[in-house]
């Protein structure tokens, strides 16, 4: 059985941002991390993808670190990856996005995915 996969939408090279801390947290917990950022080639030594469509195959999880207005536009691409769960991290959710995700039958969880892993964002140094 292969390791679970997670795409981090809004992954960042900036170690102060939660989109970077999530990449590190998921990797430390043994998941295959697929950072998604159209402006970066690598994040934390991992190849970054310009979009979800650039990732081959299905995903187990999608973790969103983007504003709701951006996230809602990505919902069809997220649904196409058939994830078990979509994590909407603080600031990425809105009522409109949640309604649209429900219409696509996506299982959404509104919570900090780093905390859900049993970790604290403060455990991941900014430098």
Torsion of CA 24, 115, 90, 48, to 10 degrees: 20
Instruction: Classify residue 80: in a domain, yes or no.
Output: yes
CB atoms inside a 10 Å sphere around CB 102: 11
* pLDDT digits 0-9 by tens, 99-110: 999 999 999 999
Domain containing 81 equals 63-119
Evaluate whether 25 touches 117 at the Cβ level (below 8 Å): yes
Residues 6+ apart with CB under 8 A from 118: none
Q: Is the model's pTM score more than 0.85?
A: yes
* pLDDT digits 0-9 by tens, 51-83: 999 999 999 999 999 999 999 999 999 999 999
Q: How confident is the model at residue 127 (pLDDT cuts 50, 70, 90)?
A: confident
* pLDDT digits 0-9 by tens, 4-54: 999 999 999 999 999 999 999 999 999 999 999 999 999 999 999 999 999
Instruction: Classify residue 3: in a domain, yes or no.
Output: no
Total of domains in the chain: 1
Instruction: Classify residue 81: in a domain, yes or no.
Output: yes
The CATH number of the domain holding residue 93 is: 3.40.50.720
């Amino acid at each position: 059985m292969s390791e679970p996969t997670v795409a981090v939408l809004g992954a960042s090279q900036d170690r102060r941002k939660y989109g970077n801390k999530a990449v590190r947290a998921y990797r430390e917990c043994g998941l295959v991390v697929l950072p998604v950022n159209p402006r970066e080639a690598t994040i934390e030594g991992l190849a970054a993808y310009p979009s979800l469509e650039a990732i081959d195959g299905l995903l187990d999880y999608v973790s969103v670190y983007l504003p709701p207005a951006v996230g809602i536009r990505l919902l069809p691409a997220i649904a196409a990856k058939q994830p078990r769960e979509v994590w909407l991290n603080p600031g990425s959710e809105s009522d409109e996005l949640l309604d649209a995700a429900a219409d696509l039958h996506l299982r959404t969880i509104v919570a900090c995915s780093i905390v859900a892993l049993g970790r604290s964002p403060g455990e991941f140094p900014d430098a």
